Amino acid sequence: MDEAAQGEKTSVQMQIALTSVRMTIMDAHRAHLSGPPLSRDDLVALQAVAEPNRARIVALLSHGEHCVCDAGEMLGLSTALVSHHLRTLRASGLLRERKSGRWVYYSLDLERLAALRAAIADLLTPTDAATTACLCSDCGPSRSAAAQQGPLGHVPVLAEVGP
């Protein structure tokens, strides 16, 4: 076998070994990826607040409860439009309502907002398992080791990987 063919064979073997190592590590860390990052209810709530007028209504209600008429007047929106947005926010679980005679007053459901805030924080805060499982970016503890070792670092042979 000539020298070029031997070098190509070694390169292919290194790529296979590297792929095998990556797949083994990914399998070991797959558990943190098993569930959806947010529940369906959380996604519905985020989608409801994503509309700009609804976000303004949530901001207004963060200062206390309001009826549809007051909210419409303060935000410069029609009562029909405010009522529509309040209905959507209420369906998403973010609002509470209190009836007083023929008036309905809306306020934020603080417990639901706290749970949503915690779910978002969990989603946006990487875990130790997630940072160590990362193989293709510059995050995690492997970042400094990879920079010192070169682009491929130490490529173990299949015998070093284990079963």
Same-domain status, 111 and 134? no
Position 163 in a domain = yes
Same-domain status, 48 and 110? yes
Same-domain status, 85 and 147? no
Position 30 in a domain = no
Number of domains in the chain: 2
Same-domain status, 49 and 103? yes
Q: At what angle do helices 40-49 and 52-61 cross, to 10 degrees?
A: 100
How far is the C-alpha of 147 from the C-alpha of 163, rounded, in Å? 28
CATH code where residue 107 lies? 1.10.10.10
Query: The whole model's pTM is what?
Result: 0.60
Owning domain of residue 110: 40-115
How far is the C-alpha of 66 from the C-alpha of 81, rounded, in Å? 15
Spell out the per-residue pLDDT of the chain, length 163, in tens. 677 667 676 777 787 877 777 777 766 666 555 556 788 999 999 999 999 999 999 999 999 999 999 999 999 999 999 999 999 999 999 999 999 999 999 999 999 999 999 999 888 887 666 566 555 555 555 444 444 444 445 545 444 444 4
Position 135 in a domain = yes
CA 69 from centre of chain: 36
The domain boundary, picked from 115, 134, 153, lies at 115
